[in-house]
Chain A
Amino acid sequence: MSGDAAAVVAAVEAVAERIQAERSHLTDLDSAIGDADHGGNMARGWAEAADAVADLEDPDAQTVVKTAGKTVLSEVGGASGPLYGGSLVFASQELEDGVTPETAVAFAETYLEKVQDRGDASVGDQTMVDALTPAVHTFKKSIETDDLPPLEALAKAVAAAEAGVQFTVPIRASKGRASYLGWRSVGHQDPGATSTLYIMEELLETAADHLDSEVPDVDASSPTIPDAEAAGE
C-alpha cells in the first residue's frame, strides 16, 4: 500500500475511535435540538467504515476514501449518511492521483460543495457548513496563496473549523431538524458542525503522525497582508 493510502486508512480508524469516544457528547448536543441519534449513528457507521477499509487489499487512497464513504452512506441513517458518506464518495473523484496538497484542496472544495448542495445549506444556517466553510477556505488559501506547509495549512483549517463550531452557538437554525425549533435553537452548538471538527482534528493528528511531525501551534489568521493591487483585484 502506498504511503498516502496507509495514512488515509489510519485516518478512518482514528475518526472511528474519536467518534466512539465522543458518542455520548454528540448525542447530548443532538438531544437538545434534534432527534438524539447523531452520536450513535455516526459511531456505528464509522466503526463499520474502519472495518471496511481495513479489509481492502492494497488499495489506493481514492479507493479507501470511497469505501469509507459508501459504508457511512449505508450504515449511518438519517441525514448524516448522505451528508458525510455521500459527500466522501463524490469528493473521492479528486483523489485519483493520490493525496497531495493540490488534490487535498480540490477534495475539500468538492466535499464542501456537495454538502452545501445536498443539504441546501449556507453559512449561518447552524449546520456543519458553518464549520466546513471556514475550514475549506482557510485550507485553500493557506496552500495556494500563503504557500504554507500542508500540515500547517491543515492545522489552520482545524482552527478555522473550531471558530465555525463556536459560531453555531449564538445563531438560529434554518436547516435540519433544529430549524423546527425556531428561536429555541439559539444558544445550542450544532452536533454536525461538532462532529465535522472532530473528523478534521483526527485528519490533522493522523497527517502529523504520517509526516513524523508535531501538530503546529497556529490560529486561523493569515500570515500575509493582502495586496489588492498585486492580486489584480
Chain B
Amino acid sequence: MVGLVVVSHSAKAAEGIVEVAAEMGGDTAIEAAGGDGDGVIGTNVDRISDALAAADDGNGVVVLVDLGSAVMNAEVAIEMHDGEAVIADGPVLEGAVNAAVAATDPKATLESVVEQAEAAADIDKT
C-alpha cells in the first residue's frame, strides 16, 4: 500500500493529524514526523527520513507538510530516501484524510493518492 507521512512544526499537530486521518485510513501506514526532535517547534530531516522508511512498504509514500522548513526538510529527506516519495501540494490535515482514504483503494497508486491529497485544496467549507 501507498504510505503517508505527516510533517508538521508541532509534534502534537503531526500526531493529531495522523489520528484524524487514521480513522478513515484502514490499514494505511501513516507516520507522524513533527517537531524538531528536542521537544521544540520545528522540523528535522532525520525524523522525516525515519518516518519515510517506516511508511514505505515499496509502493511509495505521499508526504503532507505544513509550512516553510517542513517543505525543505521533506525535500531533502525524499532526496536521501531509497524509494519513491512525493510531497502533496495541499492542506496538511484535509490532504492527509483524503490521501488516507485514497490509499485504501485496491487500485491505488502513488499518483492517485497524491492527486486525492492535492484535491483537498478545493474542499469548500462554507
Contacts and interface: CB of A to CB of B under 8 A. Distances in A.
Summarize B's interface: helix, strand, loop or mixed. Answer: loop
B8 to A, nearest CB: 13
Interface in B67-97: 68-69, 72-73, 75-76
A78 B69 contact: yes
Nearest to A83: B72
Interface in A39-56: 41
B73 to A, nearest CB: 6
Contacts of B46: 74
A82 B36 contact: no
A35 B41 contact: yes
Interface residues of B, number: 16
A77 B72 contact: no
Contact of B72 (A41, A74, A118): A118
Contacts of A73: 45, 76
Contact of B36 (A77, A86, A118, A176): A77
A82 B42 contact: no
B42 A77 contact: yes
Interface centre among A77, A81, A86, A176 (most CB of B within 10 A): A77
Could you say which of B38, B45, B46, B73 has the most chain A C-beta atoms within 10 Å of its C-beta? B45
B72 A79 contact: yes
Interface residues of A, number: 17
B42 A37 contact: yes
A77 B76 contact: no
B76 A82 contact: yes
Contacts of A177: 68
B98 interface: no
A124 interface: no
Given A77-B36, A77-B37, A82 B44 contact: no
A77 B68 contact: no
Nearest to A117: B75
B75 A77 contact: no
A83 B69 CA distance: 9
Contacts of B121: none
Contacts of B20: none
> In the complex, which of the residues A82, A83, A119 has the most CB atoms of chain B within 10 Å of its own CB atom?
A82
Contact of A78 (B43, B75, B76): B43
A83 B38 CA distance: 20
B40 A82 contact: no
B79 to A, nearest CB: 8
Contacts of A80: 69
A35 B75 CA distance: 22
Given A118-B72, A176-B68, A82 B45 contact: yes
Contacts of B76: 73, 81-82, 86, 118
A79 B66 CA distance: 13
Interface in A1-35: 35
Contact of B75 (A41, A82, A176): A82
Q: Which 6 A-B pairs have the closest CB atoms?
A: A77-B36, A79-B69, A77-B42, A82-B72, A78-B69, A82-B76
